[in-house]
Structure 1
Amino acid sequence: MKVPQAGAVAAVIALALTTSGCGGDDQAKGTLSIGIKFDQPGIGLRETGGVFSGFDVDVATYVGKELGYKADQIEFKQVYSNDRELLLQYNEVQFVAASYSINEKRKEKVDFAGPYFVAHQDLLVRASDNTIARAEDLNSKRLCSVTGSTSAENIRKSVAPKASVLELPGYSECLVALEDNLVDAMTTDNSILAGYAAHKGNEGKFKLTGQSLSTENYGIGVKKGNKELQTKINAALKKMVADGSWEAAVKKNFGADYKYEPAPAITAGS
């Protein structure tokens, strides 16, 4: 057997290292996969033609830029409320920005950066309806929420026991039912409701009642134990607030009438 000369061996090793490098840091900078919602106007929406819009989209894009990725290097993947943790655990996405409320149960499975937004459970009614100004007014009214959500049941148990609840597969279906007078109100986070109310074609049709039935701190989920990424995302979020991009994104996505809270202090991971 002919023994390879030292120069040839060195060339092979150099080639292997070069190939390995392309699969490491360079590949990591190739595509950034981010989990978002595809069906929530104002939050995360995949529009006709594959264009993405929404506050979470703007936040995720800003964070991605701070991590070294251009907009065309970011790949958005659809997540549902019940599979966000799994996508992170199996490395299907690097992080999740999808109206993802921070709570102790979720923190057992993922780490959070943020919070970057504070939402409250509210009610959306028809703009012409002056009979519902608070949750108690829902007694003997029809309330819509999404199947599996506890929002409507919480209202019925705590403040409006005579309300009837209609559960539908998604918020878009609830909005149609509200517009068609099949229900009197729909309930979820005010950010989601404001996004629907401000969406093109819905202007002037609906209004929020201004309730604060719960407090939801939205965070960006990362794989459990990835403290380095958590720290980098926190830094990006702080910069987004400081340079005015955060407030601009809020006003752009939720409409001029949306009453939002100031950006919350970044506390996750500290």
Structure 2
Amino acid sequence: MRVGRTLGAALVLAAALAGCGTGGGAKSVAGKDTLVVGVSKDQPGLGQRQPDGTFKGFDIDVASYIGAHMEKTPKKVVFKVVQYSEREKAVQTGKVDLVVSSYSITPERKTKIAFAGPYYVAHQDTLVRRSDTAIHNVRDLSGRRLCAVNGSVSWQRVTVERNVPAHLVQAATYGDCLTKLTDNSLDAISTDDLILAGFALENNAVRFVNAPISDERYGVGIRQDDVTGCEDINKAITEMYLDGTAAKLLTKWFGKTDLKLTTTVPQFEGCG
């Protein structure tokens, strides 16, 4: 009996240890047949929900490519809308497996989740009304009404890092920011140039300032303990650049803008 109990306890312990690894097996996204990916719903060119419920954009195509090119087996990808302020929690709680949503890698976010990639390095710029010719750079936002999206750090790069005394106008999403900009409820949106490029393509009433102030490394949000999944995603991203798909997707979504697009493999964060 003692041998039986000892063997039983050993088997339970082995099973527990197997579940506490660095992301291999069933707990890793690498071992799943279907990936639930958190995305934005109102970012033209990046992640936008269509009237029929499908999603389109660069982030959507990147997520689909990753799912199809992960090492073990191609994945079915299901998209789920995740608000900016909910992205870390959605990964931590398992609401989504990954987040691909113009998700800049920051030290603060890395205390909560991990990042594969980056899959692109964007640059923060500013969008204003075309009729507003007085704003030429971030310093000109002093005293102006600047959009602040809950969960985004972009506005902090203006008011905190550069100490520009702008008046913050709260918004839930960057789509809301655009609405407020065009109806004169605020004066500027300062965030990643790919986000702004999508808005500019759809709305001739706004213009780029074309004065970038930072690098924004777009990462794939993933659970902190899923090293296997992170490494698998990095391999897929590398392949996406080497086979020319990244260049094609960037041209597809942003080729009609005046943005200078980068088509070389970004320097990865590293997993684990």
- TM (normalized to structure 1)? 0.78
Which residue of 48, 51, 71 corresponds with 1:48?
51
The answer for the alignment partner of 1:269 in structure 2 is 271
The answer for the alignment partner of 1:252 in structure 2 is 252
Q: 1:109 to 1:190 in 2, by over 3 A?
A: same
Q: CA deviation at 1:261?
A: 3.4
Q: 1:228 to 1:213 in 2, by over 3 A?
A: same
Q: CA deviation at 1:167?
A: 2.1
Partners of 1:183 and 1:135 in 2: how far apart?
15
Q: CA deviation at 1:232?
A: 1.0
The answer for the alignment partner of 2:3 in structure 1 is none
Number of positions where the alignment pairs a residue of Structure 1 with one of Structure 2: 239
Q: CA deviation at 1:54?
A: 1.3
Is 1:210 aligned to residue 215 of structure 2?
no
Residue deviations 1:50-105 (CA, integer Å, cap 9, x gap)? 121111111100000113336xx321112222332333233332222122221223
Is 1:167 aligned to residue 175 of structure 2?
no
Instruction: Give identity over the alignment, percent.
Output: 40
Does the 8 A contact of 1:198 with 1:255 survive in 2? Answer: no
Does the 8 A contact of 1:63 with 1:237 survive in 2? Answer: yes
The answer for the alignment partner of 1:35 in structure 2 is 38
Does the 8 A contact of 2:115 with 2:269 survive in 1? Answer: no
The answer for the alignment partner of 1:125 in structure 2 is 128
Aligned partner letter, 2:208: L
Partners of 2:124 and 2:111 in 1: how far apart?
24
Partners of 2:52 and 2:177 in 1: how far apart?
25
Which of the two has higher C-alpha Rg?
1
Aligned partner letter, 1:38: K
For structure 2, the residue ranges without an aligned partner over 5 or more in a row are: 1-25
Aligned partner letter, 2:262: E
The answer for the alignment partner of 1:69 in structure 2 is 74
Secondary structure of 1:155's counterpart equals helix
Partners of 1:253 and 1:122 in 2: how far apart?
18
Deviates more, 1:131-140 or 1:48-57: 131-140
For structure 1, the residue ranges without an aligned partner over 5 or more in a row are: 1-22
Q: CA deviation at 1:47?
A: 1.3
Does the 8 A contact of 1:34 with 1:76 survive in 2? Answer: yes
Partners of 2:251 and 2:93 in 1: how far apart?
35
- TM (normalized to structure 2)? 0.77
Which residue of 97, 100, 105 corresponds with 2:103?
100
Alpha-carbon RMSD across the aligned residues, in angstroms, is: 2.5
Q: CA deviation at 1:111?
A: 2.2
Partners of 1:151 and 1:32 in 2: how far apart?
28
The answer for the alignment partner of 1:82 in structure 2 is 85
Residue deviations 1:232-251 (CA, integer Å, cap 9, x gap)? 11110001011111122122
Residue deviations 1:118-170 (CA, integer Å, cap 9, x gap)? 12221101234322111122234333332454533543453543x43322333
Aligned partner letter, 1:87: A
Q: 1:174 to 1:88 in 2, by over 3 A?
A: closer
1:180-259 equivalence runs, <5 A: 180-199=183-202, 202=203, 204-257=204-257, 258-259=259-260
Partners of 2:157 and 2:33 in 1: how far apart?
45
